[in-house]
Amino acid sequence: MNFTAARARILAVDAQEINLMVLERLLTPTEAGLVTATGGPEMLAKLRSRGYRIGVLTRGCREYAETALRIAGISDLLDAVVARDDHPEVEAKPSPIAMRHMAEAVGVRPDEITYVGDHKMDWMCARDASAKFVAVTSGTFTREQWLAEDPEMPVLNTCAELLD
């Protein structure tokens, strides 16, 4: 490993540790910079009450994801969390293998999953695993950008619209 690669690895670990310290010490999700999707907690509670299994598939590490989900107050609403460090990194999003891991974690086939995402990587992962995908404009893409990727793609402004 060359010096630059070794330094990058150390910086990544340090950044992760700093983020966890910040999340643990701040009082509210907003202060921590953690924004729960508009209508997200209510949507998750309603879906669970209707018998849906709910999981989070993230490129974040497990420790960070669990901390963020706990602070956001939604960890108890989830059946599974699949993080990038649960499996070899080549199996993380956007690889469709990540969606297969999620399907296994919640006890369904990938084609039975409706994946709600706000990043192109989410769409690529779902598409390549034969999962359904619903785009949300809370991330990096606008409605127009999502529809340019796939004119038939369902696009929502917030997660809460899933229940409409």
Domain at 68, CATH number: 3.40.50.1000
pLDDT of residue 39: 64
Cα–Cα distance measured from residue 90 to residue 134, given in angstroms and rounded to the nearest whole number = 24
Q: Is 73 left (phi over 0), alpha (psi -120 to 50) or beta?
A: left
User: Are the CB atoms for 79 and 70 separated by under 8 Å?
Assistant: no
- For residues 129 and 56, membership in a common domain is answered with yes
Nearest CA-CA partner of 39 in 164, 160, 162: 160
pLDDT of residue 69: 84
- For residues 113 and 135, membership in a common domain is answered with yes
Q: What is the pLDDT along the chain (164 residues), one digit of tens a residue?
A: 443 443 333 344 444 444 544 445 443 444 444 455 556 787 788 888 988 899 999 988 898 888 888 877 888 999 999 999 999 999 999 999 999 999 999 999 999 999 988 899 999 999 999 999 999 888 788 999 999 999 999 998 887 787 77
> Residue for token digits 């793609």?
153
Q: Which residues contact 48 (CB under 8 A, 6 or more apart)?
A: 54, 77
- For residues 129 and 79, membership in a common domain is answered with yes
- For residues 93 and 61, membership in a common domain is answered with yes
For residue 11 the two structure tokens come to: 């910086």
- For residues 101 and 30, membership in a common domain is answered with no
Domain encompassing residue 7? 1-34
- For residues 126 and 138, membership in a common domain is answered with yes
pLDDT of residue 71: 76
- For residues 116 and 69, membership in a common domain is answered with yes
User: Are the CB atoms for 34 and 65 separated by under 8 Å?
Assistant: no
Q: How many domains does the chain have?
A: 2
- For residues 123 and 44, membership in a common domain is answered with yes
pLDDT of residue 148: 96
Nearest CA-CA partner of 112 in 57, 154, 52: 52
Pairing status of strand 114-117 against strand 80-82: unpaired
- For residues 7 and 73, membership in a common domain is answered with no
- For residues 51 and 128, membership in a common domain is answered with yes
User: Are the CB atoms for 41 and 77 separated by under 8 Å?
Assistant: yes
Nearest CA-CA partner of 123 in 87, 159, 147, 157: 147
- For residues 77 and 3, membership in a common domain is answered with no
- For residues 116 and 46, membership in a common domain is answered with yes
